[in-house]
Amino acid sequence: MADEESAEVGGPLAATLRRIEKSAGALASASVARMDETLPWFKGLPADQRAWVMLVAQAGVRSLVEFLRTGGDGDGGDSMGQEISDEVFAAAPRALARSITLQQTVALIKVTIDVTEHQVSQLAAAGEEDALRMALLRFSREIAFSAARVYARAAESRGSWDARLQALLVDALLRGDSPDVLASRAAALGWTDRPPVVVVVGRTPGGETAAVLHAVYRAARRAHVEVVGGVHGDRLVLVVGGATDSKDAAGRLLPGFGEGPVVVGPGVPSLDHATESARAALAGFRAAAAWPEAPRPVAADELLPERALAGDAEARRVLRHDLFQALVKAGGGLLETLDAFFAAAGVLESAARALYVHPNTVRYRLKRVAEVTGFSPLEARDAYALRLALTIGRLEPGGPLA
């Protein structure tokens, strides 16, 4: 056994090495031909990518020769084999790692090694067949590890770049940058802009940003939505696309957030309009502390009263225009009935006596209030928003309608 090992490392393999060097081109061509026969997806590769695979195959044969020359564990130990095997993938552009998956790369390596093993009897000098097979086994292991290293580095690089791009996209969104800026950064991330698009804001759970976002992406895959996110200070800001029920989707993403309120902005048709959703979600997040019993997640529109009191101009505009001025336009005594109802502490009969009408008339008008504004005076939260709308509407009667 010791004599056989010395034969692998020393000069007796010189004849085998010379045969392999002479057959290098034929081996690479035979490997690519076998790939074409046995791997259906390989036929569909563009010409440039097939050429890159040919370069890798040729580099693989050259590396095998060098591996055999050093015995696979020369003076550099295992690092020598690693260095030689890594040279195989240096022959192709990095783009190849993005075009061909790791699983496909393993299939290519297997085909190349199989072709070489089938030709061992022609390649090996007399008596060196077993030594060559053992060397091929060790070399294939090194090549497999080298492929894994290439894809791991590519994934790390891509992940870091994606994280930076996402942070820039969220920054641009929060600043209200132009749609062109948003579109270009989103396109680089592969964002498909599936409607509706909503922005969700909550506290970050802490820890590494990459780990935080990874947890979010896993939850997003299970929820079948697309997500772009970023951590800003103590806030986690997510842009969610393709969620038909935005609150339900946000609920599925809750494990990615830390403690505290999680606020969902209104849905918009595309990323171009997502700044509107972001502003509402951020305003709601800042004001959510004023409603301790708020559901989690909570829609930004459910926090209109708190947002208005916290100084959010958009919330004040909605309360004035969509509630107060809508009631003024609707007429029919709705505003007067609402005033009387609130003055009577929500007692229908008392409100009816104050208005000199039947209680059923009050009921009908309150139902009309709900139809006109979307807020029911009979619900505590809605009544709170309506009362604040009446106050703001009367304090700011000359405010814009839109």
Question: pLDDT tens-digit profile of 20-74?
Answer: 888 888 888 888 888 888 888 888 888 888 888 887 777 777 777 777 777 654 3
Three-class SS state of 268: strand
Q: 174 lies in a domain? A: no
Range of the domain at 101: 2-157
Q: What integer pLDDT is reported at residue 172 of this predicted model?
A: 79
Domain containing residue 10: CATH number: 1.10.490
Average pLDDT of the segment spanning 264-274: 92
Q: Which residues of 342-365 are buried (b: 16+ CB within 10 A; e: fewer)?
A: eebeeebebbbebbebeeebbeeb
Nearest to 258 by CA among 239, 236, 227, 280: 236
With 50 as the cut, is the pLDDT of residue 9 above it? no
Q: 253 with 322, same domain? A: no
Three-class SS state of 399: coil
pLDDT above 70 as % of the chain: 84
Please state the domain count of the chain: 3
Q: 267 with 374, same domain? A: no
Average pLDDT of the segment spanning 87-100: 60
Cβ-Cβ contacts under 8 Å for 210 (sequence gap 6 or more): 159, 160, 163
Q: 30 with 104, same domain? A: yes
CA R_g for the chain: 34
Whole-angstrom CA distances from 392 to 165, 173, 327 are: 41, 29, 13
Domain containing residue 236: CATH number: 3.30.70.2730
Contacts 24+ apart (CB under 8 A), 64-68: 64/20, 64/116, 64/136, 64/139, 65/17, 65/20, 65/21, 65/24, 67/135, 67/138, 67/139, 67/142, 68/8, 68/13, 68/16, 68/17, 68/20, 68/132, 68/135, 68/139
Q: 201 with 136, same domain? A: no
Domain containing residue 381: CATH number: 1.10.10.2840
Read off the pLDDT of residues 195-215 as tens digits, 9 standing for 90 and up. 999 999 999 999 888 888 888
* Alpha helix stretches (DSSP H) within 13-46: 14-22, 24-38, 40-43
9 against 40, higher pLDDT: 40
pLDDT band at 5, cuts 50/70/90? Answer: very low
Average pLDDT of the segment spanning 367-385: 96
Q: 145 with 71, same domain? A: yes
The 8-class DSSP code of residue 104 comes to H
As given in the structure block, the two tokens for residue 377 are 């005076």
With 50 as the cut, is the pLDDT of residue 10 above it? no
Q: 12 with 64, same domain? A: yes
With 90 as the cut, is the pLDDT of residue 314 above it? yes
Q: What integer pLDDT is reported at residue 102 of this predicted model?
A: 65
Burial of 163 (0-12, 13-18, 19+ CB in 10 A): middle
Q: 6 with 152, same domain? A: yes
pLDDT band at 295, cuts 50/70/90? Answer: very high
Q: 97 with 219, same domain? A: no
Q: What integer pLDDT is reported at residue 100 of this predicted model?
A: 75
As a residue count, the chain comes to 402
Q: 45 with 140, same domain? A: yes
pLDDT band at 277, cuts 50/70/90? Answer: very high
Q: 31 with 129, same domain? A: yes
pLDDT band at 88, cuts 50/70/90? Answer: low
pLDDT band at 226, cuts 50/70/90? Answer: very high
177 against 387, higher pLDDT: 387
Q: 401 lies in a domain? A: no
Is it true that the peptide bond before 46 is cis, omega within 30 degrees of 0?
no
User: Of the segments 88-97, 132-141, 262-271, which one has the largest average pLDDT value?
Assistant: 262-271
pLDDT band at 400, cuts 50/70/90? Answer: very low
pLDDT above 90 as % of the chain: 44
With 70 as the cut, is the pLDDT of residue 162 above it? no
What is the rounded distance in angstroms from the CA atom of residue 241 to the CA atom of residue 20? Answer: 55
As given in the structure block, the two tokens for residue 209 are 């940003």
Average pLDDT of the segment spanning 365-374: 97
Q: In the chain, what is the greatest distance between 2 CA atoms, to the nearest angstrom?
A: 116
Contact present, 294 and 316 (Cβ < 8 Å) = no
Q: 377 lies in a domain? A: yes
Q: 22 lies in a domain? A: yes
The 8-class DSSP code of residue 165 comes to H
Q: Is-above-0.85 flag for pTM?
A: no
| Secondary structure (DSSP) of 185-238 | HHHHTT---PSPEEEEEEE---S-HHHHHHHHHHHHHHHT-EEEEEEETTEEEE
pLDDT band at 91, cuts 50/70/90? Answer: low
pLDDT band at 396, cuts 50/70/90? Answer: confident
Q: What integer pLDDT is reported at residue 349 of this predicted model?
A: 95
pLDDT band at 103, cuts 50/70/90? Answer: confident
